[in-house]
Structures are given as C-alpha cells and as structure tokens.
Amino acid sequence: MNRLLLNKAILTLSTLSAVVGLGFLLWILVTLGYKGVMSLHWSTFTNDLVEGGIRNLLVGQFTMALIASAIAVPIGMLAGIYLREYSNNGKMAAVMRNLSDVMMSAPSIVIGVFVFALLVDPFGGYNGWAGIVALAIMMIPIIISTTDNMLSLVPRELREAGIALGGSKHKIILQVVVKAAKVGITTGILLSFARIIGETAPLLFTSANNQFFTMDLTEQFPSLTVSIYNLATYPDEASRELAWAASFVLTAVVLLINLMGRFITRSKK
C-alpha cells in the first residue's frame, strides 16, 4: 500500500513539475510570438535602427558571429584534434581539457571585461573586432570539446586500418577520422554558432552598438542583442515594440539553427 502511494505521489509530483517547466517555456514562446508578430512590419527589416528597424542590427550580429566562427572553428578543431589524436592523453592533455571546460562555463560578462581590457581600452574605444574576439573566445572551448568528444567516438580500428593501408598519421586523421566524425562536429559547430549569436554580455562593452549601418569593424558595431537590451529599457512604446520584434527574430534564428543541427544529425545517421 505504502509503495503504491509513494509511486502515485512521485508520479504526480514529476508530472506537475514537467507541466510547470514546460508551461513557462510555452508562455515565453507564446508571448514572444504574439508580441513579436504584432510589432513586426516589413519596414522592420528594411530600416536601420535609427529609422526604427533592425536591418543594420541583423547584418552586424551575423557579421560578428560569422567572423568569430571563422576564427574559432579552425582553432577549436585543431586543438580538439591535438587533444584526441596527438596528446596521448597525458597530463598536459588533462590540464588542457580542464582549462577548456572551465572556459566553457566562464561567465560571458567576464570574457567581455577581459576583452575590454585587451582590445577596447588600449585602442581608445568600442570596436567590432573586440566583439568578434569576445565571441570567438566563447566559441573556442565549445568547439574543442565537441571535436574532442566526436573524435573519441571514432573506433580505434579505423585509425589502425588507415595506418595499415600505408597512410601517414596526419593524412588518416584529416581524411578518414575527421570525416567519420564529420556529422557530429558540424552539429557542434552549428550549436555553438547558435549559442554565440544570442549573446549580449560579451558585446555590451566591446563592440557596443551602432544605430547606423556600417561594415567598418574598427568602430562601434551594430548588434541585435545589445539593441534589445537598450530598447527594452527605453520608456517609449515604439522602442518597446521594436525590442519585441527583435527578440522574436533572434529567437527564430536560434531555433532555426538548432533545428538545422538536428536535421543534419538525423539525416546522416
């Protein structure tokens, strides 16, 4: 009797928790969707921030995230390959793995402060490159860890078979092992891209924001997330609405990239 009661109690509690958790998520999405769609106009996408649109913000956010990926993906992948294929899993590798994990959970605002001291203060002002570097620093540990983990799933025999066929180690790693882990690594890159494209804190005082359209990375650079932060604090209705619209677009972008990641994983396995 007691066990039946306990079973029912736990079932009820866990169902309730699930409902509460998912309920909040749904609430957020519905509110966001409703307010976002209501605030969206065609002009939202064609105007820059100064004219009440997000065109320059979208371009700016993507530019920074893409260049950050171009820096972080090769560095992260090569470091991951080093850890899994060349380090022989010694002490050095253990230290590097731990460091990378710590970096991954470092508060993003701290990375922002670090880059501020490194690239903003000495150069006399906010600039796009500082934002890019901050995003790249966030991305590198994620890519190191994905590459490392995905390579660890490739069976040892595949490497041995490549070597036994007369391949040199670096050729087999690049042409066989990484290829075998391609799907996982690509998914990891997409997910880390989704992660950094929604970041605010690392940009807040590195690239800051710009109301106008620019591609000049040496000046303040337009950012969707920083704009959301600013707009939401303004008292006027128009700014609030634009903040909702921008949030909606950002969420849609992140969701889309996540779905893409899942789609790739599913279709290739």
Among 122, 124, 166, 235, binds another protein (CB under 8 A): 166
Among 4, 5, 153, 165, binds another protein (CB under 8 A): 165
Alpha helices in 82-223 (DSSP H): 91-104, 108-115, 128-152, 156-164, 169-172, 178-180, 182-197, 201-204
Contacts of 128 (CB under 8 A, 6+ apart): 60, 63, 64, 207, 216, 217, 218, 219, 220, 221
Task: Confirm or reject binding of residue 33 to another protein (CB under 8 A).
Answer: no
Give the CA radius of gyration of the chain.
23
Give the nearer residue to another protein in terms of CB position, either 43 or 89. Answer: 89
Give the nearer residue to another protein in terms of CB position, either 62 or 82. Answer: 82
Task: Confirm or reject binding of residue 171 to another protein (CB under 8 A).
Answer: yes
Task: Confirm or reject binding of residue 105 to another protein (CB under 8 A).
Answer: no
Task: Confirm or reject binding of residue 52 to another protein (CB under 8 A).
Answer: no
Nearest approach, Cβ of residue 89 and another protein (Å): 11
Q: Which of 45, 68, 66 is nearest to 56 (CA)?
A: 45
Task: Confirm or reject binding of residue 84 to another protein (CB under 8 A).
Answer: no
Q: Which of 212, 87, 214, 68 is nearest to 148 (CA)?
A: 87
- Across 58-80, b (16+ Cβ under 10 Å) vs e yields bbbbebbbebbbebbbeebbebb
Task: Confirm or reject binding of residue 266 to another protein (CB under 8 A).
Answer: no
Nearest approach, Cβ of residue 185 and another protein (Å): 12
Give the nearer residue to another protein in terms of CB position, either 142 or 177. Answer: 177
Task: Confirm or reject binding of residue 97 to another protein (CB under 8 A).
Answer: no
DSSP string, 149-184: HHHHTS-HHHHHHHHHTT--HHHHIIIIIHHHTHHH
Task: Confirm or reject binding of residue 163 to another protein (CB under 8 A).
Answer: yes
Nearest approach, Cβ of residue 240 and another protein (Å): 51
Among 179, 216, 234, 256, binds another protein (CB under 8 A): 179
Q: Residue type at 205?
A: F
Task: Confirm or reject binding of residue 158 to another protein (CB under 8 A).
Answer: yes
Give the nearer residue to another protein in terms of CB position, either 150 or 194. Answer: 150
Nearest approach, Cβ of residue 267 and another protein (Å): 13
Contacts of 41 (CB under 8 A, 6+ apart): none
Among 62, 87, 167, 265, binds another protein (CB under 8 A): 167
Task: Confirm or reject binding of residue 23 to another protein (CB under 8 A).
Answer: no
Task: Confirm or reject binding of residue 184 to another protein (CB under 8 A).
Answer: no
Nearest approach, Cβ of residue 169 and another protein (Å): 8
CB 123 within 8 A of CB 207: no
Q: How many CA atoms lie within 13 A of 88 on its CB side?
A: 2
Specify the 3-state DSSP secondary structure of 245. Answer: helix
Q: Residue numbers of the site for another protein (CB under 8 A)? A: 88, 155, 157-169, 171, 175-176, 179-180, 182
